[in-house]
């Protein structure tokens, strides 16, 4: 049975069959969750670590005036805050964007993994550093790129991340995000996102099929965005 979490960890470090068994066992507590469901809210005391096995989720913050800012997208294999138990409460919320399968791992199990499995611990560190790199890249985008570059850059990031987990092939992948969600993550309005997407569509970089956004030409998006994949520590093009 495929497990996105195991696959992700394996993409960072080699795993022994025993490692795989232990990781798989850690994911036994699985919940099916509908779209737009809050897994945890700002202010809550975290009780366990979430692992996305299937579907999409996001971290977000709500502002006093009511606006929402998404600060990260979580795709299959992603997990959150293995050390978060050392802080009192969440400083942001996490919600699903599509229906999803979520594994919940207790802190005790996570710490047991960290204490007993050096290679898994190393993989955890790597994922954390990559996540921070993504946060920094978002800041760069919001600070110094215009709307077109910004949209294109996000799509490139998502493409690379999806390709790693086998959900993108030949410069093509599906992204189940509404224009409203995109706007909330990019610091734009849905109206403007709509106009930007239209131009990207007209340029032949993407299409809109069945309510989903489909990337059909990453190269072009990368050109528009000035995308450099170094911060993901993965390559946009698979090296031969």
**Residues engaged in binding DNA (CB under 7 A):** 146-148, 178-180, 187-192, 194-195, 197-198, 208, 210-211
- By CB under 8 A, the count of residues binding its own copies is 46
Q: Find out whether 162 and 177 touch, Cβ atoms under 8 Å.
A: no
Pick the closer one to its own copies by CB: 63 or 169.
Answer: 63
Closest to 14 in 3D by CA, of 122, 103, 161: 122
Q: How far apart are the first and last CA of the chain?
A: 29
Helices (DSSP H) in 13-106: which residue ranges? 17-26
Binding map of its own copies across residues 28-67, x = CB under 8 A, - = no contact: --------------xx---------------x-x-xxx-x
What is the β-pairing status of strands 212-215 and 206-209?
Answer: antiparallel
Give the interface segment with its own copies, choosing from 22-30, 76-84, 154-162, 203-211 (CB under 8 A).
76-84
Query: What is the C-alpha to C-alpha distance for residues 150 and 60, in angstroms, rounded to an integer?
Result: 18
Pick the closer one to DNA by CB: 63 or 86.
Answer: 63
175 DSSP β-pair partners:
213
Closest to 4 in 3D by CA, of 102, 84, 80: 102
Q: Which does 189 bind (CB under 5 to 8 A by kind): its own copies, DNA, none?
A: DNA
Q: Find out whether 29 and 46 touch, Cβ atoms under 8 Å.
A: no
Q: Does 191 bind its own copies (CB under 8 A)?
A: no
Q: Could you list the residues that contact its own copies (CB under 8 A)?
A: 42-43, 59, 61, 63-65, 67, 69, 71-72, 81, 83-84, 86-89, 91-92, 122, 125-126, 128-133, 135-136, 138-140, 142-145, 184-187, 226, 230-231, 233
């Amino acid at each position: 049975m495929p497990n996105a979490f195991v696959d992700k960890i394996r993409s960072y470090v080699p795993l022994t069959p025993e490692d795989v068994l232990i990781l798989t066992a850690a994911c036994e507590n699985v919940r099916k969750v509908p779209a737009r469901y809050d897994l945890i809210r700002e202010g809550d005391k975290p009780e366990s670590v979430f692992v996305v096995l299937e579907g999409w989720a996001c971290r977000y913050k709500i502002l006093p005036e009511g606006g929402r800012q998404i600060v990260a997208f979580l795709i299959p294999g992603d997990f959150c805050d293995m050390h978060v138990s050392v802080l009192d409460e969440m400083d942001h919320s996490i919600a699903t964007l599509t229906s999803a399968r979520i594994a919940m791992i207790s802190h005790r199990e996570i710490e047991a993994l960290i204490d007993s499995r050096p290679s898994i611990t190393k993989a955890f560190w790597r994922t954390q550093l990559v996540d921070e790199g993504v946060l920094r890249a978002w800041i760069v985008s919001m600070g110094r790129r215009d709307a077109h570059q910004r949209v294109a850059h996000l799509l490139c990031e998502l493409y690379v991340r999806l390709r790693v987990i086998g959900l993108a092939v030949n410069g093509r992948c599906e992204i189940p995000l509404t224009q409203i969600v995109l706007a909330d993550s990019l610091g734009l309005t849905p109206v403007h996102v709509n106009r930007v997407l239209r131009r990207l569509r007209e340029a032949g970089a993407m299409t809109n099929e069945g309510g989903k956004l489909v990337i059909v030409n990453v190269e072009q998006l990368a050109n528009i965005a000035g995308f450099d994949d170094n911060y993901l520590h993965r390559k946009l093009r698979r090296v031969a």
